[in-house]
């Protein structure tokens, strides 16, 4: 059973427009969420995160929104740039015994930003 779902395998947007990547989760114990960006044949790079006590976190062009009641989070990239073209993974973590180790990943969304 997939606990973190990214239902859109791919997304294509025009340069300068907004990119919105979505992620849904089923485990109500998840209390920390992360977005990673990955280029082909490279390791994922941490992008932005959000704790469950917040509903928004912003870092430059990247904003993550969390809707706990809907068990949904989204990553907004504004404005989108061709260099943002990559696979984006949503990941979630549940505090366990006071420490936090396991990240559960979605399957990823391939974002293509067209010039």
Contacting residues toward other proteins, per CB under 8 A: 4, 9, 32, 34, 36, 41-46, 49, 51, 89, 91, 93, 95, 98-103, 105-108
Tokens describing residue 55: 């509903």
Closer by beta carbon to other proteins, 14 or else 27: 27
Closest approach, Cβ 104 to other proteins, in A, equals 8
**Contact present, 93 and 34 (Cβ < 8 Å):** yes
Closest approach, Cβ 20 to other proteins, in A, equals 20
Closer by beta carbon to other proteins, 13 or else 34: 34
d(CA 13, CA 114): 6
Closest approach, Cβ 21 to other proteins, in A, equals 14
Closest approach, Cβ 1 to other proteins, in A, equals 12
Secondary structure (3-state) at 110: strand
Closer by beta carbon to other proteins, 28 or else 96: 96
Residues 89, 94, 100: CA angle, nearest 5 degrees: 95
- Residue 16, phi-psi category: left (phi > 0), alpha (psi -120 to 50), beta (remainder): left
Pinpoint the alpha helices (H) of the chain: none
């Amino acid at each position: 059973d997939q606990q973190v779902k990214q239902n859109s395998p791919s997304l294509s947007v025009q340069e300068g427009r907004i990119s919105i990547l979505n992620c849904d989760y089923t485990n109500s114990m998840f209390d920390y969420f992360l977005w990673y960006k990955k280029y082909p044949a490279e390791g994922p790079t941490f992008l932005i995160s959000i704790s469950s006590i917040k509903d928004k976190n912003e870092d430059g062009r990247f904003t993550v929104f969390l809707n706990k009641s809907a068990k949904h989070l989204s990553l907004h990239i504004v404005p989108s740039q061709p260099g943002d073209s990559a696979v984006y993974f949503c990941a979630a973590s549940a505090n366990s015994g006071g420490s936090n180790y396991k990240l559960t990943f979605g399957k990823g969304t391939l974002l293509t930003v067209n010039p």
